[in-house]
Amino acid sequence: MRIIKFLLRKEFLQIFRNRAMLPILFVMPIIQLLVLSFAATYELKEVDFALIDMDQSRLSRELTAKFQATGYFKLELKTFDQSEAQEAMNAGNVKMILRIPSDFENNLSSGKQADLQLIIDAVDGSTAGLIQSYSSSILNDLSVSKLAELRIETPSQQIQQAKTINVISQNWYNPDLDYITYMVPGILVVLVSMIGVFLSGMNIVREYEIGTIEQLNVTPIRKYQFMIGKLLPFWVIGMFDLLIGLALARFGFQIPFLGSLVTILVVAGIYLVVLQSLGLLISTLTHTQQQAMFIAWFIMVIFILMGGLFTPIESMPQWAQNLTLTNPIAYFIKIMRMVLLKGAGWKEIQFMVYTLVAMGSGLLLISINRYKKTTA
């Protein structure tokens, strides 16, 4: 329709003329993608530790060396004073204390259990868990090799044996447990969401505040034409950003693209409409940009944090997992991951897509109804 053409032209002119807005629309998402992808990881890079070696034996030194040799553990403090080590942990200078008692080597070489103590800073439970895992496997390896040596050197000696169950782990789709592969699809979703929710809604409220809305209300522009004029430009920009993001993901981050790109784009288009409708709805609730923005932010932060991007949805209690059923971001993140990383097709994602369509239609209808051209 011709009217829509004129509305669109005006909107695009205004968007591109807004010097401050341009970097936000095009540059910021890219920067966010880069920063986020690299920042969002639980991998261990370096663990500073303190050593209390009461044994000072060959074995204890070998143990210490093994820890350092992994490249993960860095010896920061050597002391005999427990409280000094504790202070260092309190101050945040070390994350772990390795305490080797004085009969360490003796116990091991006589085929007995050799105790040692690991004190770990558990403020961050995930990291602590990882530190424990890594330490355990270092100790386990050392234990196994030492016991093997022992059997060879002193075959007569009784080595206490208990039962063990070997746990062999296999990680599918992401064998290196690479965080980037996992995060990037989700981050792409978030980026696009920001544009979707904020900008369309903000724009409408802005016209209110400036006063041009009255002028528009007096013209023959119909409700739906006005809405399309406000939504379409940002839909286009959102899709554009997504494409750039996907390109970066594929060629920059080497994310596997097992599934169909077309599927992703179609779902993305629907998803953007859902979010824009949400932004629209919010804009009908308030007349000031400040309020609109605040409400939008509030909702978005909740959706994002509960969307399974940073912490797994499976970790949530049942009621929270149920809430996730109303969270469009959660759906899209799941779809992205399933399609890109596992090669899922229409069959697996169709119900989620139907849900998104239902959400979008619902939100759109409600906001259009609420949005009255008459200003009373």
Partner 1 sequence: MNSFSGFVTKEFKQIYRDKRTLTVLFGMPIIMLVLFGFAIRNEVTNAQIGILDLSKDEVTRTLTQKLEASSSFQIRAYLESYEEVEGLFRKGDIKEVVVFEPDFKEKLIRDNKADIQIITDATDPNLANLVQSYTSNIIRDYVQELNETGDVQQAGLNPKVRMMYNPELRSVNLFVPGLIAVILMLISALMTSISITREKELGNMEILLVSPLKPYHIIIGKVLPYLVLSVVNVVTILVLARFVFQVPFQGSYFLFFTEAILFILTALALGVFISSAANNQQTAMMVSLAGLLLPTVLLSGFIFPVDSMPVPLQIVSHAIPAKWFLVIVRSIMLKGSEFILIWKETAILAGITLFFIALSLKNFKVRLQ
Partner 2 sequence: MPELAIQTENLTRTFGDFTAVDNITFEVKQGEIFGFLGANGAGKTTAMRMLTGLLTPSSGKALVSGKDVYSEAEAIKKNIGYMSQKFSLYDDLTSEENIQFYGGIYGIPDKELAKKIDEVIESVGLGDVRKKLVRSLPLGWKQKLAFSISILHNPKIVFLDEPTGGVDPVTRRQFWEKIYEVSDQGITVFVTTHYMDEAEYCDRISIMVDGRMDAIGTPKELKENLDAVSIEDVFIQLARSAERGDG
As measured in angstroms, the least distance from the Cβ of 168 to partner 1 is 5
- Site size with partner 1, rule: CB under 8 A: 116
Which of 51, 184, 194, 255 binds partner 1 (CB under 8 A)? It is 194
Torsion of the alpha carbons at 270, 272, 277 and 282, rounded to the nearest 10? 150
What whole-number distance in Å separates Cα of residue 344 and Cα of residue 12?
Answer: 36
86-145 positions binding partner 1, by CB under 8 A: 89-92, 95, 108, 111-130, 132-133, 135-136, 139-140, 142-144
**Does residue 166 interact with partner 1 by CB under 8 A?**
yes
**Does residue 355 interact with partner 1 by CB under 8 A?**
no
Which of 2, 45, 163, 347 binds partner 2 (CB under 8 A)? It is 2
97 φ, ψ (degrees, to nearest 5): -120, 125
As measured in angstroms, the least distance from the Cβ of 297 to partner 1 is 7
- Site size with partner 2, rule: CB under 8 A: 26
Task: Fill in the per-residue mask, 309 to 338: x = in contact with partner 2 (CB under 8 A), - = not in contact.
Answer: ------------------------------
* Contacts of residue 61, Cβ cutoff 8 Å, sequence gap at least 6: 53
As measured in angstroms, the least distance from the Cβ of 322 to partner 1 is 11
245 with 30: CB under 8 angstroms?
yes
Q: What single string gives the DSSP state of each residue in 184-248?
A: HHHHHHHHHHHIIIIIHHHHHHHHHHHTHHHHHHHSS--HHHHHHHHHHHHHHHHHHHHHHHHHI
150 with 158: CB under 8 angstroms?
no
Of 4-12, 43-51, 273-281, 359-367, the window that binds partner 1 (rule: CB under 8 A) is: 43-51
* Contacts of residue 142, Cβ cutoff 8 Å, sequence gap at least 6: 62, 63, 66
**Residue 14: DSSP 8-state:** H
**Does residue 317 interact with partner 1 by CB under 8 A?**
yes
Q: Which helix (H) or strand (E) holds 341?
A: helix 328-342
**Does residue 375 interact with partner 2 by CB under 8 A?**
yes
What whole-number distance in Å separates Cα of residue 361 and Cα of residue 352?
Answer: 14
**Does residue 370 interact with partner 2 by CB under 8 A?**
no
238 with 192: CB under 8 angstroms?
yes
In Å, what is the CA distance from 139 to each residue of 74, 102, 135? Answer: 16, 17, 6
160 with 112: CB under 8 angstroms?
yes
**Does residue 318 interact with partner 1 by CB under 8 A?**
yes
* Residue closer to partner 2 (CB basis): 78 or 223: 223
As measured in angstroms, the least distance from the Cβ of 220 to partner 2 is 5
Token output for 72: 């993960």
Task: Fill in the per-residue mask, 15 to 54: x = in contact with partner 2 (CB under 8 A), - = not in contact.
Answer: --xx------------------------------------
Residue type, 61: R
192-211 positions binding partner 2, by CB under 8 A: 210-211
As measured in angstroms, the least distance from the Cβ of 374 to partner 1 is 22
As measured in angstroms, the least distance from the Cβ of 7 to partner 1 is 19
226-255 positions binding partner 1, by CB under 8 A: none
* Contacts of residue 311, Cβ cutoff 8 Å, sequence gap at least 6: 305
**Bridge-based pairing state of the strands 96-100 and 73-78:** unpaired
* Residue closer to partner 1 (CB basis): 182 or 271: 182
Which of 16, 224, 310, 351 binds partner 1 (CB under 8 A)? It is 310
What whole-number distance in Å separates Cα of residue 356 and Cα of residue 186?
Answer: 17
As measured in angstroms, the least distance from the Cβ of 284 to partner 2 is 17
Residues in contact with partner 2 by the rule CB under 8 A:
2-3, 5-7, 9-10, 13-14, 17-18, 210-212, 214-215, 217-222, 373-376
